[in-house]
Amino acid sequence: MASASRYGEMNRLFNRCGQSGVLLPKVSLGMWHNFGAEDPYERSRAITHYAFDHGITHFDLANNYGPPAGSAEETMGRLMEQDFAPYRDELFISTKAGYLMWDGPYGEWGSRKYLTASLDQSLRRMKLDYVDLFYSHRYDPDTPIEETLQTLVDFVRQGKALYVGISNWPLEPLKAATRYLHERGVPLLIYQGRLNMIDRKPMDEGILAFCRQEGIGFIAYSPLAQGLLTDRYLDGIPSDSRMAKEHFLKSERRTPELLRMLHDLQQEGQAHGRTIAQEALAWILAQEGVTSVLVGVSSVEQLKNNLAVI
Question: Is a pLDDT exceeding 80 seen at residue 203?
Answer: yes
Residues 55-84, mean pLDDT to the nearest whole number: 98
pLDDT band at 29 (very low <50, low <70, confident <90, very high): very high
Complete domains list, the chain, with CATH = 10-230+275-307 (3.20.20.100)
Question: Is a pLDDT exceeding 70 seen at residue 186?
Answer: yes
Helix 256-272 and helix 276-285: axis angle, to 10°? 80
Question: Is a pLDDT exceeding 90 seen at residue 211?
Answer: yes
Question: Is a pLDDT exceeding 70 seen at residue 239?
Answer: no
Contact assessment for residue 188 and residue 180, using Cβ atoms and an 8 Å cutoff: no
Question: Residue 68: is the preceding peptide bond cis (ω within 30°)?
Answer: yes
Question: Is a pLDDT exceeding 70 seen at residue 244?
Answer: no
Cα atoms in the Cβ-side hemisphere of radius 13 Å centred on 28: 30
pLDDT band at 219 (very low <50, low <70, confident <90, very high): very high
What was the pLDDT predicted at 256? 82
| Cβ contacts of 149 within 8 Å, gap of 6 or more | 136, 177, 180, 181
pLDDT band at 234 (very low <50, low <70, confident <90, very high): confident
Contact assessment for residue 73 and residue 125, using Cβ atoms and an 8 Å cutoff: yes
| Cβ contacts of 207 within 8 Å, gap of 6 or more | 171, 174, 191, 193, 201, 218
